[in-house]
Structure 1
Amino acid sequence: MTQLIVLPNSDYCPDGVVLEAPVGESICEVLLNNGIEIEHACECSCACTTCHVVVREGYNSLNAPEELEEDLLDKAWGLEPESRLSCQAIVAETPLVIEIPKYSINMTREGKR
């Protein structure tokens, strides 16, 4: 287990939180398993950008993003150099600090098909 620190986000965890994260799970799985209902419109299949997070600390400890993830991230709102799709970022032994962006592009929820 390692620490996953989630910075405050008014929609998902207003006060921020420190979680115990099992090594080998995705950041998205850790969030969902701890009651932080981050959007994940594609059910974690790397087909959208709704679970986009910014890794403020510990980015280099994560598995490298694959080309598909990088292509999708180009479409994410608020893209930063340390952005990852939380469904693809696998927790290692280094503590992480993440920020869930204020906005997400969710074509399904917004009624576009």
Structure 2
Amino acid sequence: MTQIIVLPHVELCPDGAVIEAEPGKSVCQALLEHDIAIEHACEMSCACTTCHVIVREGFNSLEPAEDTEEDMLDKAWGLEPNSRLSCQAHVAETPLVVEIPRYSINMAREGKH
């Protein structure tokens, strides 16, 4: 199991968390399994940016982002060089420290009343 440290997020994880994830599992799946309700409006199909995370430590242990993810990340709020969509970033053996940005852009929901 690989350790993921989740930095505090005002709404989703006020005190932060330390969780364990199986290598090969997406960061999004790991967060959800540990009751950290990260948004994932497109049901983890890489079609929105709601599960955007910033990988503060362990970024280089992740497989590189594919073009589709890179294209979606360009639309994410608060994009940083070590940003990933958590539905596409799969845990390896290296521990991770992730930050869930304060805001997200819900492209799957916007404009629908």
TM-score (norm 1): 0.96
Aligned partner of 1:12 in structure 2 is 12
Aligned partner of 1:99 in structure 2 is 99
CA distance, structure 2, for counterparts of residue 95 and residue 107 of structure 1: 30
Q: Residues 34-90 of structure 1, C-alpha deviation per residue, up to 9 Å, x if partnerless?
A: 100100000000000000000000000001100000000000000000000000000
CA distance, structure 1, for counterparts of residue 57 and residue 30 of structure 2: 17
CA distance, structure 1, for counterparts of residue 29 and residue 2 of structure 2: 14
Using the TM superposition, give the Cα deviation of residue 108 of structure 1 relative to its aligned residue in structure 2, in angstroms: 4.0
Sequence identity, in percent?
Answer: 71
- Contact 2:52–2:76 under 8 Å retained in 1: yes
Does residue 33 (structure 1) correspond to residue 33 (structure 2)? The answer is: yes
Using the TM superposition, give the Cα deviation of residue 107 of structure 1 relative to its aligned residue in structure 2, in angstroms: 3.3
Using the TM superposition, give the Cα deviation of residue 21 of structure 1 relative to its aligned residue in structure 2, in angstroms: 1.0
Aligned positions of 1:1-113 closer than 5 A:
1-110=1-110, 112-113=111-112
CA distance, structure 2, for counterparts of residue 56 and residue 15 of structure 1: 17
CA distance, structure 2, for counterparts of residue 61 and residue 107 of structure 1: 28
- Which ranges of structure 2 fall in alignment gaps of 5 or more residues? none
CA distance, structure 1, for counterparts of residue 14 and residue 3 of structure 2: 18
CA distance, structure 1, for counterparts of residue 12 and residue 70 of structure 2: 24
CA distance, structure 2, for counterparts of residue 108 and residue 34 of structure 1: 24
Work out the number of aligned pairs and report it.
Answer: 112
Q: Which amino acid aligns with 2:106?
A: N
Q: Tell me, what secondary structure is at the counterpart of 1:19?
A: strand
- Which ranges of structure 1 fall in alignment gaps of 5 or more residues? none
RMSD: 0.9
Moved over 4 A (4+): none
Q: Which amino acid aligns with 2:11?
A: D
